[in-house]
């Protein structure tokens, strides 16, 4: 019986530090995963910065994203076949608008009508 009491007291004494140890190990693992993720993001940002320092890359991105062109060039924007074959799609809503309303009410009506379709 004395041995059981000693073992019980030993378990009671060691339980809180053991629980704190495992909780801190879990916290350390989570922080290490966060550090690894941030390191990977930093490497990717450094690669992006390296790309943006190249004038040819900047020029290509300006052409692609912003549709910039150099002086003397022509830009052509190709529409999809759905837009080109159905020009009446954009005017169908404006025919259904009520007449005699101020422009702002007609605008709200057209937005409401478009949202309902």
Can you tell me the distance from the alpha carbon of 10 to that of 12, in angstroms, rounded to the nearest whole number? Answer: 5
In terms of pTM, does the model score above 0.85?
no
Can you tell me the distance from the alpha carbon of 114 to that of 92, in angstroms, rounded to the nearest whole number? Answer: 10
Tokens standing for 16?
Answer: 């809180």
Which residues contact residue 67 at a Cβ distance below 8 angstroms, ignoring those fewer than 6 apart?
75, 77
Radius of gyration of the chain (CA): 34
Range of weakest confidence among 13-17, 22-26, 77-81, 95-99: 95-99
Of 98, 92, 99, the closest CA to residue 114 belongs to 92
Ordered by start, the domain boundaries in the chain are 27-77, 87-117
Of residues 35 and 96, the one with the higher pLDDT is 35
The whole-number pLDDT of residue 29 equals: 96
Average pLDDT, the chain: 84
Of 87, 108, 110, 88, the closest CA to residue 97 belongs to 110
Which residues contact residue 35 at a Cβ distance below 8 angstroms, ignoring those fewer than 6 apart?
none
pLDDT (mean) for 91-110? 71
The whole-number pLDDT of residue 104 equals: 85
Confidence of residue 34 (pLDDT cuts 50, 70, 90): very high
pLDDT (mean) for 42-62? 95
Can you tell me the distance from the alpha carbon of 110 to that of 94, in angstroms, rounded to the nearest whole number? Answer: 7
């Amino acid at each position: 019986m004395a041995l059981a009491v000693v073992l019980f007291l030993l378990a009671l004494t060691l339980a809180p530090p053991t629980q704190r140890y495992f909780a801190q190990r879990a916290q350390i693992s989570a922080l290490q995963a966060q550090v690894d993720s941030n390191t990977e993001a930093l490497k990717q940002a450094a690669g992006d910065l390296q790309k943006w320092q190249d004038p040819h890359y900047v020029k290509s991105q300006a052409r692609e994203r912003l549709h910039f062109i150099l002086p003397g060039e022509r830009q052509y924007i190709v529409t999809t076949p759905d837009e080109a074959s159905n020009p009446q799609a954009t005017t169908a809503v404006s025919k259904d608008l009520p007449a005699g309303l101020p422009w702002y009410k007609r605008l709200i009506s057209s937005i409401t009508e478009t949202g309902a379709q």
